[in-house]
Chains A and B, each alone.
Chain A
Amino acid sequence: MEGMLKELEDRELMIRIRDRNQEAFAELFDRHASLLLGLTRRVVGGNLGEAEDIVQEALIQAWHQADRYNEKRSSVVTWLVMIARSRAIDRLRSRGVRQRAADKLKDETSNVHESAKGFTSVLHDERRERLLKELTQLPPEQRNVLELAFFGGLSQRQISDREGIPLGTVKTRTLLAMRKLRKTLSEDIKALL
């Protein structure tokens, strides 16, 4: 049974999770837990214990809302990322340490390229390499607004205030960065569709 689950795609696991199949849920955890942990740890500022709590809450939410997952709207991993990120940002805001996390984010910019081999699946590793390569190809100001928005949970107006640049500029940089990444990472995006 366990071996069979490993052969299934994420969306097939979700069908079983809707039927309350805990083994399928465990398999989903094995595949994506380290990704979600890395994300939540980055958002809340490095505390792994707190990141684990957030991931646990996010996955419980996914378990309960499995019947609300719509494969036409997103892949399973993107759906989990949305839930985990949302939980992490909520935790950040509730602690009132948003600014500190954003500062920490700047300090951690140089750590973005840490090697992550051995922690996740080969597929995640390959995608990560391509994403990091494309992010470094972006102009620094475009990458900065994207990361502040994604990992810092800052709105465009908040970024504008923080960085001291016009709101329109923040929007433009965000749009340019997203357009370029969509083109350069089109193969990885297509694989998730």
Chain B
Amino acid sequence: MTQENQPFEDEAIQAAIAEFGMESPVDGISDSDGPRVREYRELLGLMALAAPPAVASTDLKERLMTELLGEETQEVEHLVKKVQEYSQEKNLETKVIPIMRPEVPAASGQWLRWAAAAMLFGIVALGAVSTFLYRQIDTMNQRLVNLALEMEDAASSRELNLAETRNLLADTKQNLTLVTSSSTEICPLRAPGESAIPTARGILYIAPDHQHWYMRVQGLKQSGDRQYRLWFLVGDGLSPVDGGSLDLQAGREATLGSATMPENTKAVKITLEDRDASGDPNSPVVVYGDDMLRIL
């Protein structure tokens, strides 16, 4: 405690002591309601604990409560007597009707009712909030599941695309090798005089193993519901062997390649067949080639 606070502290002590009846009030000390005075007042109250407690005799409480009741009864009797004296003076009829002491509603009873109502409201509100949150959580869970499935699909799709890309790259590299190798044979493809598509032309690249090949055809027209088909013409009889269909790509170009070529292929031709056609070619030739040239 600082020196400046001591006088204030001492005044508070003096005020508390005086209020407790332990000393006469000191002139000039007016702050008898300050918080510090209150603390010292309570401290003095605690001093009573220094005395050993005593057990009350059994009838002390009874005497006390009887005295309280007696005082109240006496007060009522005194009032009744006064009323009777007055009534006699004025020659009035009187009748004493005992009044039942009204039940003082226990504040705690009301408090309990309020507490119960508040608790009930709280339970209902909690139930509503819980239901709402449960639904929200359920919706979120469903969204998460859907998202996971979408991600899985996307991953699968991406993997598929990647695999396709890899395959395409491998094919392209192979085709590039094929096209640029000095051992590769090439076969020009031309539209015959009677071709329905005189602008059609192409090149067939054949690897030295006569198995791997790659073909590129340009100047084609849209096929509609018909399809361009490649035919290997094999042996001296030039028997047609199906080499696959060509899909028209951007512009009017088509490419096709494979690792297999029928043995003893003498020539190739492309025809424009019906999509569901099978067996030997029935349509006019679009392009034809039988000159196998080697690139030196």
Contacts and interface: CB of A to CB of B under 8 A. Distances in A.
Contacts of B67: 56, 60
Contacts of B52: 38, 42, 111-112, 114, 116
B37 to A, nearest CB: 9
A51 B51 CA distance: 13
B46 A33 contact: no
Contact of B68 (A41, A60, A72): A60
B68 A74 contact: no
A62 to B, nearest CB: 11
A15 interface: yes
Task: Give the size category of B's interface with A.
Answer: 35 or more
Contact of B43 (A39, A116, A181): A181
Interface string B141-168: 0000000000000000000000000000
Contacts of B20: 82, 85
B56 interface: yes
Given A15-B107, A182-B40, A155 B24 contact: yes
Given A26-B61, A29-B64, A189-B39, A41 B106 contact: no
Interface in A27-60: 29-30, 33-39, 41-42, 48, 51-52, 55-56, 59-60
Given A147-B50, A179-B13, A189-B43, A56 B33 contact: no
Contacts of A185: 43, 46
B51 A42 contact: yes
Contact of A1 (B46, B72, B106): B106
Contacts, number: 169
Contacts of B45: 74-75, 77-78, 81-82, 192
A86 interface: yes
Contact of B51 (A15, A22, A41, A188): A41
A99 interface: no
Interface of A: 1, 4, 7-8, 12, 15-16, 19-22, 25-26, 29-30, 33-39, 41-42, 48, 51-52, 55-56, 59-60, 63, 72-75, 77-78, 81-82, 84-86, 89, 111-112, 114, 116, 119-120, 124, 127-128, 131-132, 135, 146-147, 149-151, 153, 155-156, 174-175, 178-179, 181-182, 185, 188-189, 192-193
Interface of B: 1, 9-10, 13, 16-17, 19-24, 33, 35, 38-57, 60-61, 63-65, 67-69, 72, 104, 106-109
27 contacts: A4-B106, A4-B108, A4-B109, A8-B108, A12-B107, A22-B65, A29-B64, A35-B49, A37-B54, A39-B48, A48-B57, A56-B67, A78-B44, A81-B44, A112-B51, A114-B52, A124-B53, A131-B47, A131-B50, A150-B47, A150-B50, A156-B23, A178-B43, A179-B9, A181-B43, A189-B46, A193-B39
